[in-house]
Amino acid sequence: MSVSPRTHVRVIRWVMPAVLAVGLVACGSFEQATRGMADAITFYKPEVVQGNFVSSEQVAALRPGMTRLQVRDLLGTPLMASLFHGDRWDYVFTMKRQGVEPQHYRLSVFFQGDALERFEGDTMPTESEFVQRISRDRKVKVPVLEATPEQLAKFASAGADGPADAAPNTTGAPAGPPPAGSYPPLEPAR
């Protein structure tokens, strides 16, 4: 059985509007059905951290007259050091994290030759305050990183020879005195 071209045109005239109408109704229903889900679904947003965080403790340690090397050791490498402003370093820190208010801090350090002249910028939080600000759980306990006098005495009693339980030197290299302010071993000797 052969179908005439006129029959195809008639079918298309009736079928196409019906298909379009069903499609539009489906789109409207889908939008209406998913409108309430927008609050339930949270899309992943990556954390964006840029720059060096500088704490108020680090800023308090800055002293006019410090060399560029001393400032770099204290604050880290600056985020921006311009060729046109060679006597200025900028420390900028920004952090965007889902569920936490964005953090923005800026500190500019000015040099006269190789010596620190002055510094200016935002009031920096302490390390503990910063941890509290970036935490989603506001009850974060920051550990105290200080040794008691008894703990310090234990390492001072070892003297210049190092701790008593240090591993013997098996590398064949000459054993020199430990560096000033030596630290206890990270793992116990076996």
Q: Tell me the pLDDT tens digit for each residue of 73-116.
A: 999 888 777 778 788 999 988 888 777 788 888 999 999 989 99
Chain mean pLDDT for the chain: 76
Whether residues 125 and 52 fall in one domain:
yes
Of the candidate ranges 26-40, 108-122, 128-142, 168-182, the one whose mean pLDDT is the lowest = 168-182
Q: What's the number of domains the chain is made of?
A: 2
Give the number of other Cβ atoms within 10 Å of residue 33's Cβ: 9
Instruction: Indicate the residue among 134, 158, 177 that finishes a domain.
Output: 134
Asked if pLDDT for residue 162 goes beyond 80, the answer is no
- What is the chain's alpha carbon radius of gyration, rounded to the nearest angstrom? 33
Task: Please return the burial class of 78, using the count of CB atoms within 10 Å of its CB with bins 0-12, 13-18 and 19+.
Answer: buried
Looking at residue 48, its pLDDT comes to 78
The confidence score (pLDDT) of residue 31 equals 64
Structure tokens at 41: 């679904």
> Domain check: are 89 and 24 in the same one?
no
Which residues are registered as beta bridge partners of 116? 111
Residue range 34-62: mean pLDDT, rounded: 77
Q: Are 110 and 87 in contact (CB under 8 A)?
A: yes
Domain housing 124: 48-134
- Of the candidates 169, 175, 172, the one whose C-alpha atom is nearest the C-alpha of residue 189 is 169
Half-sphere exposure of 159 (CA within 13 A, CB side): 2
- Among residues 48, 56, 51, the alpha carbon closest in space to that of 134 is found at 48
* Domain end position, chosen among 83, 108, 134: 134
The answer to whether residue 140 is domain-embedded is: no
What distance in Å separates the CA atoms of residue 51 and residue 75, rounded to the nearest whole number? 11
**Which pLDDT score is estimated for 16?**
83
Q: Is the pLDDT of residue 155 over 90?
A: no
Asked if the structure places residue 186 within a domain, the reply is no
**More confident: 32 or 96:** 96
Say if residue 32 is in the same domain as residue 60. no
Residue 10: pLDDT above 60? yes
On whether the pTM is more than 0.85, the answer is: no
Neighbouring residues of 59: CB distance < 8 A, sequence distance ≥ 6: 107, 119, 124
- Identify the CA nearest to 57 among candidates 110, 129, 111: 129
In this structure, the answer to whether residues 96 and 124 fall within a common structural domain is yes
The more confident residue out of 138 and 3 is 3
Is 159 inside a domain boundary?
no
2 within some domain: no
Q: Is residue 53 located within the same domain as residue 121?
A: yes
Between 114 and 185, residue with greater pLDDT: 114
Q: Cα–Cα distance between 71 and 77 in angstroms, integer?
A: 9
**CATH code, domain carrying 84:** 3.30.1450
pLDDT tens-digit series, residues 111-135: 998 999 999 998 888 888 887 777 7
What phi and psi, each to the nearest 5 degrees, are found at residue 89? -120, 140
Residue 1 lies in a domain: no
Distance CA 95, CA 130 (A): 11
pLDDT for position 63? 92
Whether residue 57 is predicted with pLDDT greater than 70 in this model: the reply is yes
